[in-house]
Amino acid sequence: MAARKSGLGRGLDSLLPVDRPQAGFSNIPLELIDPNPQQPRTLFDEEALASLAESIKAVGVLQPIVVRTLEDRYVLIAGERRCRAARLAGLTEVPAIIQGQEVDDTGSLTEALIENVQREDLSPLEEAGGYQQLLEDFGLTHEVVAQRVGKSRSAITNTLRLLQLPAAIQFMVGNGTLAAGHARTLLAIEDEAYAVHIAERVVEEGWSVRQVEDAVRKRSTPTKSGPARVKPPRPAAIIELEDRLGERLGTAVQISHGKRGGKVSIRYASLDDLERIYRLLS
């Protein structure tokens, strides 16, 4: 399946100058991109790269890489994971924000990307890719992104969660056959194959969000013989803390609280996602 051109690419094309081949936005050959010699990371999670490659095959490269021109080649500034995954996916070129040799205007690039994700014709998945790039490549926080694009922090977090979905479900969201609200509900299913199965039924049978929630609940509730055990209601303060932590970290958080303390469980999609959470905590 050919990778679909990212909507973010179309937007940046109109926001940044493209009449100069050495600056602006363009699709550039992967063979002309050299790694950043100052990149501290030398090891990459192969499983996470394979997962990202599958996503790229399904929906394309949602986040342009950032490069700087150097003679007749490009030096990578941000986006090495996307480059590696794009090669795994069989791509020969990727969308890139190109900075000239003497240009270091990260602020203008950030503003261009912020303006781009405010466009109304982006799919929810393309919007999520834009937010993720503002977080990873430009160092913005969830709170700052929310302020800059004029949305609530929870809206940013919920949109970003779409990037944790299996590639097959991302494809359905990307082409508009599956609504983002239905897709986010499927994040509670740990079995990816079953999540894809439910997503396909949603598309084929026109399920409501409530029907998806019921399917998720049935999958999550184990069948036991004997009378059902009624759990006591959870304190509202604990639920509120879970929501706040989840928004702050951009992932699902569960707090188990008892008389002698408890534990906090934080869900992550890959080692790279875990590293992102670590950076937020530190």
151 in the same domain as 14? yes
For residue range 214-273, list pLDDT tens digits in order. 888 887 665 554 444 445 556 767 777 777 787 778 777 888 877 777 888 888 777 777
**121 vs 177: CA distance, rounded Å:** 15
122 in the same domain as 48? yes
Q: Indicate which residue of 54, 80, 111, 192 is catalytic.
A: 80
210 in the same domain as 177? yes
Q: Which of 170, 158, 199, 160 is nearest to 182 (CA)?
A: 199
The answer to whether residues 189 and 219 touch, using CB atoms and an 8 Å cutoff, is: yes
The answer to whether residues 108 and 24 touch, using CB atoms and an 8 Å cutoff, is: no
| Alpha carbon 97 to its chain's center | 19
Q: Please indicate, yes or no, if residue 226 is contained in any of the structural domains.
A: no
176 in the same domain as 148? no
Q: What is the CA radius of gyration of the chain?
A: 21
204 in the same domain as 129? no
Q: Please indicate, yes or no, if residue 231 is contained in any of the structural domains.
A: no
Torsion, Cα 174 33 77 274, to 10 degrees, reads 50
182 in the same domain as 58? no
13 in the same domain as 153? yes
For residue range 71-95, list pLDDT tens digits in order. 788 888 878 888 999 999 999 999 8
54 in the same domain as 26? yes
Longest Cα separation, the chain: 74
pLDDT of residue 22: 56
Q: Please indicate, yes or no, if residue 183 is contained in any of the structural domains.
A: yes
Q: Domain boundary residue among 135, 157, 179?
A: 157
Helix (H) or strand (E) holding 98: strand 93-99
Reported confidence tier of residue 200, pLDDT bands at 50, 70, 90: very high
Q: Please indicate, yes or no, if residue 174 is contained in any of the structural domains.
A: yes
65 in the same domain as 150? yes
The answer to whether residues 16 and 110 touch, using CB atoms and an 8 Å cutoff, is: no
Would residue 120 show up in a list of annotated catalytic residues for this protein? no
113 in the same domain as 49? yes
Q: Which of 24, 89, 25, 29 is nearest to 60 (CA)?
A: 89
Looking up residue 119, the CATH number of its domain turns out to be: 3.90.1530.10
- With pLDDT > 90 as the criterion, what percentage of the chain qualifies? 11
Whole domain around residue 180: which residue ranges? 165-219
Q: Please indicate, yes or no, if residue 182 is contained in any of the structural domains.
A: yes
Q: Is 275 helix (H, G, I), strand (E, B) or coil?
A: helix
> In sequence order, which residues have a C-beta less than 8 Å from that of residue 262 and are 6 or more positions away?
255, 256
- Is the Cα dihedral 48, 54, 57, 59 positive or negative? negative
Q: Of 91-95, 124-128, 152-156, 223-227, where does mean pLDDT reach its minimum?
A: 223-227
Q: Please indicate, yes or no, if residue 235 is contained in any of the structural domains.
A: no
**257 vs 241: CA distance, rounded Å:** 11
- The number of folded domains in the chain is 3
The answer to whether residues 199 and 188 touch, using CB atoms and an 8 Å cutoff, is: no
90 in the same domain as 208? no
43 in the same domain as 106? yes
Q: Please indicate, yes or no, if residue 149 is contained in any of the structural domains.
A: yes
